[in-house]
Amino acid sequence: MAKKRIDTYSHYNKDDKKLDRRIKEVKDGEATSKVEGRNAVIELLKSDREVNKVLIAKGDRQGSINDIIKLCKEKGIVFQEVEKAKLDEITETNHHQGVIAYASPIEYKEISDILNIAKERNEDPFIVICDEIEDPHNLGALIRTAEIAGCHGLIIPKRRSASVTEVVAKVSCGATEHLAIARVGNINDAIDELKENGVWIYGTDGSAEKLYFEENLTGPIAIIIGSEGRGMNKLTMKKCDVLLKIPMKGHITSLNASVSGGIVIFEAVKQRMDK
């Protein structure tokens, strides 16, 4: 049975109380998530995810807002102009850029899905594992980096980790719509499953003896990025095939998780391009 599309809101133009009530109904009674910011909403509209509606600040018809309206019209998606104050009230990121979309929740994938993506592309698996990354900005940045780098997927744990929220989607600039993301109960079990499928596990840690650019990263690999401050879990570290470090020359002895992840991920990209 085809899913019923939410009505057009055309009769709510002059009745903010009805719009308030309808927004609350969608939030409380239907499985939805908010996507905020122009780039994130554009990538959402380009994806296959079901979009219930898009709210746009009144009077803002410049730049990429026109692209959003055009995509809504092309795909038959409801969009509604509202006062900017309404977007300010319901935003989760505080940086909505004049547009907020309500969509079905992101569909987390299985590890087997990620491996199948690599197989379909006829490529060696290239995966990022986030070990208890709790800052949504770091997670969003890592998702964006992984998607741009051509990774086949990213794995996060269900506990002690940021999930894919509105903030993560916004920071990723919409990369959450294109990168397969698996959410697993136990990272170490996930590592075992990857190893069973021939994937080599590389951990990033400042105590490692080998520099990240000294290792061959051209085969089937998964790169683990440890949590902010604590780094990798000790048991997870023991499960790694190889530990890699980034040389530090300054007085500060650690890098932001998303920055260190980006450095190692793109070393792998470089090696794979040179292969």
Please provide residue 134's backbone torsions phi and psi, each rounded to the nearest 5 degrees. -95, -20
| pLDDT for position 6 | 35
pLDDT tens-place string over residues 180-217: 999 999 999 999 999 999 999 999 988 889 999 999 99
Please provide residue 164's backbone torsions phi and psi, each rounded to the nearest 5 degrees. -85, 95
Handedness of CA 171, 92, 109, 222 (dihedral sign): positive
* Pairwise CA distance, residues 161 & 134, whole Å: 5
* Domains observed in the chain: 10-103 (3.30.1330.30), 111-274 (3.40.1280.10)
pTM of the model: 0.77
pLDDT tens-place string over residues 35-71: 888 988 998 998 888 888 999 998 867 788 999 999 9
* Pairwise CA distance, residues 166 & 35, whole Å: 5
Q: Average the pLDDT over each of 30-39, 95-104, 232-241, 255-264 and give the range with the smallest value.
A: 30-39
pLDDT at 94 over 90: no
Q: Look at the block and give the residue holding tokens 């980096």.
A: 145
| pLDDT for position 125 | 98
pLDDT tens-place string over residues 245-271: 999 888 777 788 899 999 999 999 999
Q: Check residues 53 and 229 and name the one with the higher pLDDT.
A: 53
pLDDT at 18 over 90: no
